[in-house]
Amino acid sequence: MGLKASSSVAGAFAALMLILSGSAQALSVGAYYGDYDTATKQAGHPATSLRGPFPERWSFTAQAKRPYRIGVLFPHLKDPYWVAVNFGIAQRAAASGVDFQVLVAGGYSNLAGQIQQLSQLREQPVDGIILAGVSYDKLDAQLAETRAAGIPVVAVINDIQAPDIAAKSLVSFYDMGFKLGDYLRQQIAGHDGEQTVAFLPGPKDTGWAPESLQGFTDALADVSTITLLPPLWGDTNAKTQRSLIRRAFHFYPKIDYLVGNAVMALVAPEALAQLGAVAANTRVLSTYLIPQVYNHIADGKVAAAAADMNIDQGRIALDMIVKCLDGQRPGVDFAFRAGPRIPVITADTIGDFPFEQLFGTRGFKPVLDSRAVREENAGADANNSAAAPSAP
């Protein structure tokens, strides 16, 4: 299913213009070069056929060679995580002179919907596609058709197996989970007694949720004082995550750490308060970051979150597709796979990461069709000029 353009198009256009300053600044990334061979690819890890990661500064294209039309496919836009990715894409699109339209699948369970949207974009056609896939290994045939149609596809945020993917802007959710597990290891170092951990990864059939769990588990593999309960899988909507928290405490009344997806961390403080004394000392850790969890960290309600700098992943993805369409070669002229470095945000480190650096302009509304936004804004300007009194 698709979404119509934002109702506040003039405001969205103004926001785009406001955020252009600084949009071309270079980013520190881990970069991988070479040929992408899926025979060497495992979920959660870069293909071993690639060389890297090399620390480098990502240099953005100042201006695309043509005003390309880019299709963007998201799993959903129901939480601020994907709005921040949209911000990064919108920022770079406006800066480099290309247009984009966003279609959303409506959730990770709607594989058929995303397949239909890929077909829709091929038929329009668009010049290139940015894909946040709802499945790691079930879109290969669709991407083969898309490549055969001469349309490059760049993966963003969610890893994908597809041999025909042109490039990838993402970090490893395995690494995100490992970073968070290492943080917990340091927190409990020297403490006596068992620590019980409940993990709510997110949707089981995605790439990122199992990967974050595996990374977290591996980071704590030799820590004998931690008991990791069986994972509680579920969609990243608030109702599901509240239900899973209640279920966890129903079966395991002593939980020292509640760890998992950001929507879980968003609803956890209220859910824990409702559970009363049994959850009074439970600490919350998030495998990724959204604005409300950022605020919870600042308020002392969430202990820590790994930050995958998703706004920057959106920026890099848009630039990758521009580079492809401009004739540059992924893996040769620019990195086939690149992603920003991963910090862990805590009360002690949050001052080093201002809100705008992580999530963009406050109050930003998703831009779903940049051309419609620009054209409606131009029409509003023309109407205002016609209505203005003439000079004496």
Tally Cβ neighbours within 10 Å of residue 65. Answer: 12
What pLDDT sits at residue 378? 52
Report the alpha-carbon distance of residue 41 to residue 171 in Å, rounded: 15
CA distance 111 to 126: 21
The identity of residue 302, as a single letter, is V
What is the model's pLDDT at position 361? 85
Q: Tell me, what amino acid is at 60? A: F
Structure tokens at 227: 């008991």
pLDDT (0 to 100) of residue 6: 42
pLDDT tens, 320-368? 999 999 999 999 999 999 999 999 999 999 999 999 989 888 888 899 9
Whether 119 has a pLDDT exceeding 60, the answer reads: yes
Is the per-residue pLDDT at 248 higher than 60? yes
Q: Does the pLDDT value for residue 392 go beyond 80?
A: no
Domains, the chain: 9-170+310-341+360-377 (3.40.50.2300), 173-306 (3.40.50.2300)
Whether the predicted pLDDT of 138 surpasses 80: yes
List pLDDT tens digits, range 264-296.
999 999 999 999 999 999 999 999 999 899 999
Residue-wise pLDDT for 99-116, tens only, equals 999 999 999 889 999 999
Any idea what DSSP says for residue 334?
B
Q: Categorize the per-residue pLDDT at 1 as very low, low, confident or very high, splitting at 50, 70 and 90.
A: very low
Amino acid at 10: A
- Beta bridge partner(s), residue 198: 258
Dihedral sign computed on CA atoms, order 198, 203, 205, 210 = negative
pLDDT at 18 over 90: no
8: tokens are 């506040």
Tokens of 250: 């129903």
CA distances from 118 to 78, 133, 141, 172 (A): 20, 10, 11, 24
Rounded CA-CA distance 322/326 in Å is: 6
Q: Average pLDDT, stretch 192-220?
A: 92
Backbone angles phi, psi at 64, to 5 degrees: -65, 155
pLDDT digits (tens, 9 = 90+) for 60-98: 999 999 999 999 999 999 878 899 999 999 999 999 999
Q: Considering the chain, what is the average pLDDT of its residues?
A: 89
Beta strands in the chain (DSSP E): 27-33, 51-58, 69-74, 99-104, 128-131, 153-156, 167-169, 195-200, 226-228, 257-260, 283-286, 304-306, 337-340, 344-346
